[in-house]
Amino acid sequence: MPVLPYAKGVDQRDLLAQIGAGGPASLRLPAVVDSRINAISGFLYRLLGSFDLSYLSEVSLVLLKEALSNASKANAKRIFFRDQGIDIQGPEYERVKDEYTRQVLQHWEDRQAEFAANKEHYIELRFAKDGKRLRFDVINNVELTRQEEERIQARRASFQKHPDINAAFSSIRDDSEGAGLGIFLCLSLLENAGIPAEANFNISSEAGVTTTTIGIPLQVTPPELKSDFYARVLHEIEELPSFPDHIGRILSLCESETASVAAIADAIGTDPGLTAQILKMVNSAGYMSRNRNPGLRDAVKIIGLNVIRNLLMVSGARDAIGRRYRIKQLEQIWEDSNRVSFFARRLASGRGAGVMELVTVAGLLFELGKIVLMSLQPEVVEKLEKIFEKRVRTPGVIEETVLGIAHPEIGARMADEWNFPDALVAAIRYQHRPLSAPPEYSQEVQIIHVAAILQRASVGEADYYCGEPELLESLGMATEEQFRERLSALESAYAAGKNGS
């Protein structure tokens, strides 16, 4: 399998063998890279996994993307200055830099392809085992200006003064040239992963070349999470409200070996909302029956107790959440979850009823943890989403860096607290790290991962390259065109279902 769309002739296995043998391995990239760089995630997972460091693959991807983004913008700036006929090392730097920001950076996604076509500049991505660490070098054939070097040093000094991104929000005002929190992000990610940042992140420039070096020690001791916020989250989970009494009673009846279908149906009948949901489901295309418009008892027989249990878990969780949390985004979170659930069920078609039912429920509950995060730190979470939406593939990486814990982990702990099945807990916990999921739950996790990417793509927050290539391929989306076609079909089917057509 190719490492990247940019380097289709380079196979992952060959590159891994080169690094394992001790020799450096490198990839030559164009002057500017775009979101397709996300496709390197599978290679990073396998490379780090060979050193028992696979849990650092998403962090490493963010670090590499940040370095590659900086190199791309540095190359684009040189091209822009050249086209303007201005010496980038000359006295007009500040004036033309501001023009570059307005004309290029503020329209970056629209102009990437234009600058990528330039043949004068390039980016080289180099991997090597360097003593007791893995070393990633991002090299581009430009030399830093004095102003750029001063900016980098100022960012490092600010990190030493404010060693977390949350504090940096108020300390950094200058976001020109895309500088902003990028270096803070890299240094903070390393520190929170238990990697000494100052020794493992460096930007050097000489002889017409700039090199960003990222080091990943082969022996990493993850830091203990002792932040006040982490403790608050754990306390919040311990204080979760129980399910409504009638939901608990119905669940107990479903687990009982002696309870009759009639008794279960009668108990469900005390909840008008749940009754309506079951009757609507049994009359849907997925439960074709000779008995048109069956009563509640027949509906329970047709649907089966496993599905009833799933409905009860979702109903109980949403009721408990609604009673405890009052956040303005709750309705939108439930709508996003409904969409992920629908997409996941369609993706699971043909993989067995058990898988389909599990991913349906997991989709409905996949953002439980986000609700808790937004209730405890609403301003910080909103800032993180705004600042880093284009920088990271999965928001959980940044949540964990800044707050000490990410929303998939919070959601999984909530599901565990409510005694949800292990497969459901895993689907929530590993939704952003599908390659790390336990093998027995990998199929369900992978479907939720892809369904969530499709949902984010439907609102312009993700694209084909945000997914793991092999997982997308396994679900019939081996190409970007197939991804777009599948998304369009799923969106149409979802809209038709909502409109009752």
What is the residue-wise DSSP string for 351-400? S-HHHHHHHHHHHHHTTHHHHHHHHHSHHHHHHHHHHHTTT-S-THHHHH
Domain that holds residue 128: 5-217
Q: Are residues 197 and 266 in the same domain?
A: no
Residue 417 inside a domain? The answer is: yes
Residues 6+ apart with CB under 8 A from 403: 166, 227, 229, 230, 373, 377, 380
- The first and second tokens of residue 100, run together, are 């570059």
Residue range 13-24, pLDDT digits in tens: 888 888 888 778
Which residues are paired to 127 by β-bridges?
Answer: 25, 136
What is the residue-wise DSSP string for 237-282? HHTPPPPPHHHHHHHHHHH-SS--HHHHHHHHTT-HHHHHHHHHHH
Which CATH number belongs to the domain containing residue 211 in this structure? Answer: 3.30.565.10
Q: Are residues 366 and 309 in the same domain?
A: no
Contact 168, 184 (CB under 8 A): yes
Q: Among the listed ranges 236-240, 358-362, 389-393, 432-436, which one has the minimum average pLDDT value?
A: 389-393
Supply the Cα-derived Rg of the chain in whole angstroms.
Answer: 25
Residue 83 inside a domain? The answer is: yes
- The first and second tokens of residue 415, run together, are 């599901």
Domain boundary among 271, 298, 324: 324
Quickly state the pLDDT bin for 397 (edges 50, 70, 90). Answer: low
Nearest to 422 by CA among 362, 469, 468, 372: 362
Which residues are paired to 214 by β-bridges?
Answer: 136, 201
Once rounded to an integer, what is the mean pLDDT over residues 220-224? 65
| AA letter at 61 | L
Nearest to 319 by CA among 251, 253, 378: 251
Kindly give the residue spans of alpha helices, DSSP state H, lying in 404-479: 407-417, 422-429, 442-458, 469-474
> Quick check: helix, strand or coil at residue 79?
helix
Q: Are residues 293 and 359 in the same domain?
A: no
Domain boundary among 308, 324, 340: 324
Tokens 């694209």 — which residue? 463
Count of structural domains, the chain: 3
Dihedral sign from CA coordinates of 172, 173, 179, 180: positive
* Predicted pLDDT of residue 392: 60
Q: Are residues 154 and 18 in the same domain?
A: yes
Q: Which one of 185-199, 205-219, 307-321 scores highest in mean pLDDT?
A: 205-219
Provide, rounded to the nearest whole percent, the portion of the chain with pLDDT above 90. Answer: 37
Nearest to 55 by CA among 400, 329, 365, 424: 400
Q: Which helix (H) or strand (E) holds 203?
A: strand 201-206
Domain boundary among 173, 201, 217: 217
Q: Is the pLDDT of residue 236 over 60?
A: yes
Residue range 434-462, pLDDT digits in tens: 888 999 999 999 999 999 999 999 988 88
Provide, rounded to the nearest whole percent, the portion of the chain with pLDDT above 70. Answer: 86
Q: Are residues 174 and 121 in the same domain?
A: yes
Residues 6+ apart with CB under 8 A from 363: 337, 338, 340, 341, 342, 343, 344, 345, 448, 451
Q: Is the pLDDT of residue 8 over 80?
A: no
Residue range 120-178, pLDDT digits in tens: 999 999 999 988 999 999 999 999 999 899 888 888 887 887 655 555 555 554 444 54
Once rounded to an integer, what is the mean pLDDT over residues 242-269? 88
What's the full length of the chain, in residues? 501
Residue range 72-115, pLDDT digits in tens: 999 999 999 999 999 998 999 989 999 999 999 999 989 999 99
Which residues are paired to 27 by β-bridges?
Answer: 125
Residue 231 inside a domain? The answer is: no
Which CATH number belongs to the domain containing residue 408 in this structure? Answer: 1.10.3210.10
Q: Are residues 351 and 425 in the same domain?
A: yes
Q: Are residues 414 and 491 in the same domain?
A: yes
3-state DSSP helix/strand/coil % of the chain, to nearest 5: 65, 10, 30
* Predicted pLDDT of residue 443: 95
- The first and second tokens of residue 26, run together, are 């490198």
Q: Are residues 139 and 33 in the same domain?
A: yes
What CA–CA distance (Å, rounded) separates 431 from 183? 27
What CA–CA distance (Å, rounded) separates 273 from 68? 51
Q: Are residues 348 and 361 in the same domain?
A: yes
* Predicted pLDDT of residue 123: 96
| AA letter at 92 | E
Q: Are residues 273 and 185 in the same domain?
A: no
Q: Are residues 334 and 472 in the same domain?
A: yes
* Predicted pLDDT of residue 113: 92
* Predicted pLDDT of residue 413: 92
DSSP state for residue 224 in the 8-state scheme? P
Q: Are residues 318 and 336 in the same domain?
A: no
